[in-house]
Chains A and B, each alone.
Chain A
Amino acid sequence: DSGVTQTPKHLITATGQRVTLRCSPRSGDLSVYWYQQSLDQGLQFLIQYYNGEERAKGNILERFSAQQFPDLHSELNLSSLELGDSALYFCASTSGASIGELFFGEGSRLTVL
């Protein structure tokens, strides 16, 4: 158990819809990362937050947005969903004290029909 909790574990929705994925980082971790894992693209970095502020941005679509709340949990919002958005979305957290030692949740599997 990494200590990172993601909900929901599975989500099935239709094209055009909007969903919210939630992540609770490990206790004490200030930094949260979101990654998308798909068969054709592999693991793609989406966005990072540190203590409530956006720190780095990767290949995140404009239809996607994220935020980190004062209690440090984070949400990834995906809107106007397309079939190609079907993927496993991972959240990872770190204290920042050790470079690269990210602790991953078990992921949220999104299926868009």
Chain B
Amino acid sequence: AQSVTQLDSQVPVFEEAPVELRCNYSSSVSVYLFWYVQYPNQGLQLLLKYLSGSTLVKGINGFEAEFNKSQTSFHLRKPSVHISDTAEYFCAVNFGNEKLTFGTGTRLTIIP
């Protein structure tokens, strides 16, 4: 079955520390991978995407993600977080059909 897993529902991180948000998927077909961010009381906004090519993808606000096909993962990283990064982060996968399947989200809390 095709699925998207974000194991960490909440991640607290000190300001200026690095962070990694994990995303794994299950699929036997080629996929397209995305990270979206949802700030409080707002809709979702695309952070970055992997469609093909280099497995290291850079996005907005200093975030990057690496596609690992053998581990079916697409973890999101940032070397130094800021208070403004407080938000919910969603991993999403296109399994070759018309829709995006989202993970359950990871709430990132930045501790001053």
| A residues in contact (CB < 8 Å) with B | 2, 4, 33, 35, 42-43, 45, 48, 55-56, 58, 90, 92, 99-102, 104-107
Contact = CB atoms under 8 A, between A and B. Distances in A.
Contacts, number: 54
Instruction: Place the interface of chain B in its size category.
Output: 20 to 34
A87 to B, nearest CB: 14
Contact of A100 (B90, B94, B103, B104): B94
A92 B97 CA distance: 16
Given A99-B51, A99-B94, A45 B43 contact: no
B70 interface: no
B46 interface: yes
Interface in B66-112: 90, 92, 94, 97-105
B41 A100 contact: no
A106 B43 contact: yes
B97 A56 contact: yes
15 contacts: A2-B43, A42-B102, A43-B102, A43-B105, A48-B98, A55-B98, A56-B98, A90-B43, A92-B43, A100-B34, A100-B94, A100-B100, A101-B49, A104-B44, A106-B41
A101 B100 CA distance: 10
B45 A45 contact: no
B32 interface: yes
B54 interface: no
B42 interface: yes
Given A43-B105, A99-B94, A101-B49, A56 B43 contact: no
Given A48-B99, A56-B98, A101-B46, 5 more contacts: A55-B98, A100-B32, A104-B44, A104-B45, A106-B43
B42 A45 contact: no
Contacts of B105: 42-43
B32 A43 contact: no
A107 B49 contact: no
Contact of A104 (B41, B43, B97, B103): B43
